[in-house]
Structure 1
Amino acid sequence: MQKVASKRWKLAEKIPPEIEQALSYYPAFFRQVLYNRGITSTEQAMAFLSPGEDFHDPMMLLNMAGVVERLLYAIDHHEPIAVYGDYDVDGVSATALLVETIQLLGGNVTAYIPNRFEEGYGLNIEALGHLREQGIRLVLTVDCGIRSLQEAEHARQIGLDLIISDHHHPLDEIPPANFVICPKQNGDEYPEKNLAGVGVAYKIAQALLRQRRKELPREGFGLDLVALGTVADVVPLTGENRLLVRAGLKELRRGGRTGLRSLAQAARLNLGALSTSDIGFGLAPRLNAAGRLESALASYQLLLERDIQQIGMLVQHLDDQNRERQKITTEMQKRAEELIQEEGFEEILFAFDESFNPGVVGLVAGKLTESYYRPAVVGHINGEYVRASCRSIPAFHITQALDACADLMVHHGGHALAAGFTIHRDRLAELKQRLAKIAFEQLGDLDLRPVLRADVEIPLGELHPEFLKYLYLLEPTGMDNPEVFFVSRNVRTSNARAIGADGKHLKFLVTDGWITYDAVAFRQGHWMEAGLPKEVDILYRFEMNTFNGRESLQLNVVDIKPAGGD
C-alpha cells in the first residue's frame, strides 16, 4: 500500500452571468466564492454574511416540554441529578454546560464521565447501578445514549429516571428512557439536524432558563462551551451551528472562562483573535488528551474551575498529557503502517494490536486515512474483546458499513466519516472480510486520490490585501463551510528553506515578477530533498500571519505542483 503521492485539484464551476449580475455588489472573486456556497442573490448573501443570533426555539425539539418539566421538578425537590457525558471535548463541554445551568437554577447536580479504558464509550450498566446506589434519582445523558437500549431498560428496572440527549444517529428502536432528545430521531421537526452533543445540551439549557425566566450571569452564557464542543466534534458549520459558533467565539475571545483563557495561553494562542482553527488544533487536542490517556475529569474540572492556582495545575497537566499523546501517536502510527502492509487490503486499512493505546486509536486511524486516502480501522486487542475506531473518506460512509455488519458487533456507532465499535476477538476476521467486500464494491472503481477543491483561480498579481476583509465575513469556517482556497499558476519560487521540528515544513517566496509574497507549506518539507521547482502552480489560503506581535500577509500553501502539471 503506497501513500498518496498526488492530489487532484478541482476548481469550482464558474459563476453564471445572471448570478454574477445579481451579486454585483461584491468584488468579482467574492461573487464566485458566494456562488460556490450556494448563494445566488444579494439577500441571501446579506443573510449569510450578517446572520445575527436568531437561534431556533428549543421547544421545537421532540420531547423538550417533558424534559424541562422533569428537570425542573428534580431541581425544585432537590432530587440528586447526574449529568452523564462522553469523554471527548463535545461530551465534556456539554456536561459542564448542563451542570453549570442546573447549579444556576439551584439544583443538586453532579457530573459523571466514564473512563475510556475501564468502561468504554457511552452508558454502561455498572455506572448506572453505582449512581443509583449513590442516591441519584435522575440521570441526564449528553452526547451519548441514543443506541443504549439495554442500559435504558436497566435504568428503568432499578428505578432510575433517565433522560437521553444525544446527536448521533439512532437505531430503528429508540431506548426506553423517560424522555429522549435527539434531532435525528423520527418525528423530530427541529430544523437543525446537525447539532453537536453540546448544541443539544445548549437547547436544554435555553429551555430551562427560559421557563424560569432566569437572568443569565452573562450575555453569552454557555456559548463558549458550545463553540468549543461543536468545532471539536467536526459537525457542519452551516445553519444554526454556524450562528452558535459565531456567538461562542465572541464569548471565548472575551476570556471570561479562566480555565480556557489559561489553556489558550499554554497553547500560545491569541485569545482576542481566536478562530475555529485555533480550537481544532490548539484547545481541543489538549482537552482531549486527558480522556485519551487517563480520565477526562481534568478537562471537565478546568472548564468550571475558578481557583487560579488549581487552574494552573490543571493546564500544566493537560499540556504534559498532550505532549505524551503526540509521542504515543507517532509510535503507534509507525506500528500501524507495518500492520496494514501485512494485511494487504486495497480499499480499506486495518491495524489491530495488543500494544495499542485505546485512547489514541482514533487519532492513528485519522493519520492513516490522511496518508493513504482510504477508510482506516485501528483497534486495541484486550483479551477477548477488540475496541476500535474508524475514520473514512467522503466516498465511504463508515457507519453505514458498520451497520451492515451489526450482527457481528457488541456495540457500534458514529458518523459518516468517524465511528467506533466493540467486537469479540473471534469475530474480527469475519468483520474485516465483510468490510473489505463493502469497501471494494463502493470504492473499487474510483480514483482514490484526495480532491482539493479551489474556489478561484487568480493571477498572483490580482491578489489584493483588501480580499481579507471579505474572507473574514465567511467565518466561522469549518465542515461544509470551508475556508476559501485560491489557485495561482506559473509562479516563481525562491529562498526555500525547511522549518520546524525535523524540517517538516517549508518556507519560501513566490512571485510573478511584479509582486512577491511569503509562503508557508506545512508538512511539505520533503520538497527540500526532492528539489522545489523554480516555477510551480500552488493551491493556497490567503491570510494574515501574526508573529511576535507583527502582522504580515502570507500564502498558506496546501499543495504544490510543478508548473503545467496535471
Structure 2
Amino acid sequence: MRGARWQVAPADIPPGLTGKYPVLMAQILGNRGLRTAEDAELFLSGDNRLSHDPMLLPDIQPAMARIYRAVLSGEKFAVYGDFDTDGITATALMVTGLRRLGADVVPYIPHRLTEGYGLKTEALRKLAAEGVSLVISVDCGVTAVAEVAAARGFGLDIIVTDHHLPLPELPPAVAVIDPRRYDSAYPFQELAGVGVAFKVIEALFSGTARPLPKEHFLELGAIGTVADIMPLTGENRYLVKEGLKHLNDHPSPGLLEIVTLSRLKPGRLDAESISWTVAPRLNAAGRLEHAMVGYNLLMAATADEAAALASALENSNAERQRLTAKYVARAREQVLSGPISPLLFVEDEECPPGILGLVAGRLTDEFYRPSIVIRREKSVSTASCRSIPGFNITQAIDRCGHLLCHYGGHAQAAGFSLKTADLPEMSSLIADITARELASLDLQPVLSIDAEARFHELGGGLYEMLSQLAPFGEGNRPPLFVSRCVTVLDYRFMGTAEEHMKLRLTQGNSVWEAVAFRQASSLKKILPGPLDVVYNLELDRYNGRETLRMNIVDFAPSV
C-alpha cells in the first residue's frame, strides 16, 4: 500500500495474557481488545458461546406468534429479499427454514434494473393479488415506512427483518426485527441480513420440537456475512467459522458447482475465497439481470440442476468484470480531469446500475476519498456510495434526506435515488458536508501494524497460533508485522510482465523467503539497499509442497 502511513500498535501486553502466550501472540491478542486468558480462549475457539439468545431481538415474540398462526392456518407467505449476496443468502435461508416448519412460502427478489432496492408498493400489491397474506422481509424494509403502511391498507401483514440503521420512525409492521433498533436489547449489533434471518429461524425452531438443521443455514450465513463486509468479531465469528466448516466438508450442490467452476480447492475455502470468488459470482446475476439465478443455485437439490445455473453465473461474472473495467476507466478520467476534491462525485448516464457500487469502491480504494457514482437518467437518478474510515457516508446522506426518494446503507457503503432535477442541489450539499467533516481528517490511508518483529521471533509454531485467529476479514485482518533493516540476499522477477518479485531476506542469522505482488517496479528502484518491510505470514502451496513465507504488503528504505 504505497503512500500509506504506518501505524504500529504499542508493544503492550495485557497483564491477563502475560505468560499465557508467546510475546508476539499476546501482543496481537491484546490489539484485538482481548484482555484476559478467558477472553482470548473464547475468541480463538469461536464456538457457539459467542451466539446470543434470539429471544432478545426486538419484536421477536409477535413475529413468532404471527408466523406460527400463518403456518397452522395454511396461509401463503412470501419472503421479500434483496439482490446482493447478503439478500440472496438471507432469502434462501428464510425460505428453507419456513418450509421445514411446514409453511407455504414463495421467494420474491426485486429486479435491480426495473424495481430497485427494498420493499416496493407495487410488488407488495402484486403478492397480495396472488394470495399472499404475510410478507417477511430479509435484508431490507426497516426504512420502508410508507410502503408498509400502504401494504396494511390492502390487507397485507409485514414482518420486517433487517440489519440496516432504522429511521426515527419505524414501519407500522407486525414486527420490526433489527438489532440496530435504538431500543434493542440484543447484545450484538453487527449481524448481516442473513445473520438476522438465521436468528429468526433459530427462534422459530426453539418453539417447536424440531431440531434446527444448522449445517446449510450456517453455510449461507457465512457467505452472506463475509460478502456484506460485516466485522468478523463476536457472533459473526461463530457464524462464519462454523459455516466455513460445512462449506468445506459438504457444500450444497450449488455451492459445490461454484467451487468447481472457479477452480477453488475444496476443503481449503476461507473467508477470502468467499470475498473474491463465491460472492462475486452470486452477485453477478443481480448486477446485470435478475438475482433469482443466484437464489435458484443456492436452492438447487442436485448437481445437474446446479450445473447450468453455475455456468450462467460464471458468464455473468465475466461480463461484470468487463463492464467494471470499462466504467472504472471512464470514472478515473472524470476524477483526474481537474483538482481532486475531498468527495469524488462522478456521473455516467450509461453505467449499469449494478456496476455503480463496484466503480465507487475502486475509486475510493485508489484515491482514498469517499465516492459517489451516479447514473443520471431523465427523471430519476440512482447512486452508489463508498467511504473511508472516519466518515459515515450514510449519516451524511441522511442530512440530504429531504432531497431523496430512497436511501440507506452502512457507514462505508450506501445508495440512494432522487429526482434528477434535484441533483445539482444534492451534489452541492453533500460536497459541503463532506468538505467540512473531512477537513480534520488526514486523507492518507493508514496501514495498521500489529507488532514490530525480529525474524528470529517468527518461528516456534507462531504461524500455527496465528492461524487460530482466522477467519480473517473486516474487523479481524491477518496480523501484520514490520521488520526493520532487512538485507536482501537475492531476488527475481515473476509474472509475464515481471510485475511481481520473489526475494530472500535476512536479518541477524535468520533467512526468510518473501513475495511482493504488483510491487516489483517500485522495489527495484531502491534495491539492494536495506529495507523496512511490512508483511504477513502465509503458507505457499506449490507442486504439493508447503512453504511458509512472507507476503510483503509495503516497504520503505531503512533509515
Please report the TM-score for the alignment, with normalisation by the length of structure 2: 0.96
Secondary structure at the aligned position of 1:214 is classed as: coil
Which residue does 2:12 correspond to in 1?
A: 15
**Deviation string for 1:238-287 (max 9, x for gaps)?**
11111111211111111231211221122222231221111111111111
Among 184, 201, 217, the alignment partner of 1:188 is 184
Aligned ranges 1:110-189 → 2 under 5 Å: 110-189=106-185
Quick one: distance in 2 between partners of 1:311 and 1:81?
A: 25
CA distance in 2, matches of 1:381, 1:426: 10
Cα contact 1:498–1:528 (8 A) shared by 2:
no
- Asked whether the equivalents of residues 20 and 31 of structure 1 are also in contact (C-alpha less than 8 Å), the reply is no
Q: 1:22 to 1:338 in 2, by over 3 A?
A: closer
Shift of 1:174: 0.2
> Which residue of the partner structure matches residue 471 of structure 2?
476
Report if aligned partners of 1:543, 1:555 keep a CA contact under 8 Å in 2. yes
Q: Which residue of 2 aligns with 1:527?
A: 522
Alignment size in residue pairs: 557
Report which stretch shifted further, 338-347 or 534-543: 338-347
Aligned residue number for residue 322 of structure 1: 317
Separation of aligned partners in 2, 1:202 and 1:506: 44
Measured against aligned partners, the alpha-carbon deviations of 1:361-416 in whole angstroms (never above 9, x if no partner) come to 11111111110000011121122221111110012110111011111111111111
Question: Cα offset for 1:327?
Answer: 1.2
288, 292, 314: which one aligns with 1:293: 288
Q: CA, structure 1 residues 534+306, in 2 after alignment: closer, same or farther (shift >3 Å)?
A: farther
Tell me how far apart the structure 2 counterparts of residues 499 and 262 of structure 1 sit (CA, whole Å).
Answer: 29
1:70 is displaced (CA, Å) by 1.0
Q: 1:455–1:486: 8 Å Cα contact kept in structure 2?
A: yes
What is the SS of the residue equivalent to 2:350? coil
Structure 2: which 5+ runs fail to align?
Answer: none
| TM superposition shift of 1:186 | 2.5
Q: Is the contact between residue 348 and residue 374 of structure 2 (CA under 8 Å) also seen in structure 1?
A: yes
Residue 243 of structure 1 is matched in structure 2 by: 238
The answer to whether the 8 Å contact 1:345/1:436 transfers is: no
Do 2:46 and 2:237's aligned partners in 1 also have CA atoms closer than 8 Å? no
2:86 matches 1:90: yes
Against the structure 1 CA distance between its residues 20 and 505, is the aligned structure 2 distance closer, same or farther, given a 3 Å change threshold?
A: farther
Q: After the TM superposition, which residues 438-477 of structure 1 pair with which residues of structure 2 at under 5 Å, given as runs?
A: 438-464=433-459, 466-477=461-472
Contact 2:526–2:557 (CA under 8 A) maintained in structure 1: no
Residue matched to 1:558? 553
> CA 1:311–1:114 in structure 2 vs 1: closer, same or farther (change >3 Å)?
same
Deviation at 1:106, TM superposition (A): 1.5
- What residue number does 2:412 align with? 417
Task: Give how far 1:45 is off.
Answer: 1.6
Structure 1 segment 294-443 matched on structure 2, within 5 A: 294-342=289-337, 344-443=339-438
RMSD: 1.9
469-478 or 284-293: bigger deviation: 469-478
- Deviation track 1:112-141 (CA, whole Å, cap 9, x = no partner) reads 011100001111111111111111111100
1:213 correspondence with 2:206: no
Measure, in 2, the Cα distance between the counterparts of 1:461 and 1:90: 43
Residue type of the partner of 2:134?
Answer: L
Q: Deviations over 1:321-375 (max 9, x none)?
A: 1121111111111100111234645211011111111101111111111100000
* Compared CA separation, residues 158 and 343, structure 1 to 2 (3 A): farther
Deviation at 1:548, TM superposition (A): 4.3
Shift of 1:444: 2.2
Residue 318 of structure 1: CA displacement? Answer: 1.2
CA contact (8 A) 1:228 1:284 kept: yes
- Output the CA distance in 2 between the equivalents of 1:525 and 1:295: 41
Change (3 A) 1:278 1:195: same
Question: In structure 1, how many angstroms separate the alpha carbons of the residues matched to 2:48 and 2:188?
Answer: 14
Q: Is the Cα–Cα contact under 8 Å of residues 460 and 491 in structure 1 kept in the other structure?
A: no
Q: CA deviation at 1:550?
A: 2.8
Task: Give the deviation of 1:43 after TM superposition.
Answer: 2.1
Q: Is the 8 A contact 1:137 1:160 kept in 2?
A: yes
The equivalent residue for 1:281 is: 276
- Of 4-13 and 326-335, more deviation after overlay is shown by 4-13
SS at match of 2:402: helix
SS at match of 2:189: coil
Normalising by structure 1, we get a TM-score of 0.94
Q: Aligned equivalents of 1:413 and 1:148: distance in 2? A: 10
C-alpha distance in 1 between matches for 2:34 and 2:28:
9
Give the letter aligned to residue 317 of structure 2: N
Letter of the aligned partner of 2:9 in structure 1?
Answer: A
Unpaired runs of 5+ residues, structure 1, are: none
User: Given the superposition, is the C-alpha separation of residues 332 and 309 from structure 1 closer, same or farther in structure 2, using an over 3 Å criterion?
Assistant: same
Task: Indicate yes or no: 2:73 matched with 1:77.
Answer: yes
Does the 8 Å contact 1:23/1:41 carry over to 2? no
How many Å apart are 1:542 and its aligned residue? 0.5
Q: What is the one-letter code of the residue matched to 1:290?
A: A
- Give yes or no for contact 1:499–1:507 (8 Å, CA) kept in 2: no
Answer yes or no: is the 8 Å Cα contact 1:496–1:528 preserved in 2. Answer: no
Deviation at 1:61, TM superposition (A): 0.8
Once the two structures are overlaid, the 10-residue window that deviates more, 553-562 or 388-397, is 553-562
Tell me which residue corresponds to 2:484: 489
Name the SS for the 1:38 alignment partner: coil
Instruction: State how far apart, in whole Å, the 2-side matches of 1:333 and 1:322 are.
Output: 16
The range that moved more, 334-343 or 413-422, is 334-343
Partners of 1:436 and 1:92 lie apart in 2 by: 34
Identity level (%): 42
- Cα 1:78–1:503, aligned 2, differ >3 Å: closer, same or farther? farther
Distance 2:92 2:495 in 1: 39
Secondary structure, aligned partner of 2:136: strand
Which amino acid is the alignment partner of residue 103 of structure 1?
R
C-alpha contact 1:83 1:112 (8 A) present in aligned 2? yes
Q: Provide the C-alpha distance between the structure 1 equivalents of 2:52 and 2:96, rounded to a whole number of angstroms.
A: 22
Counterpart in 1 of 2:249? 254
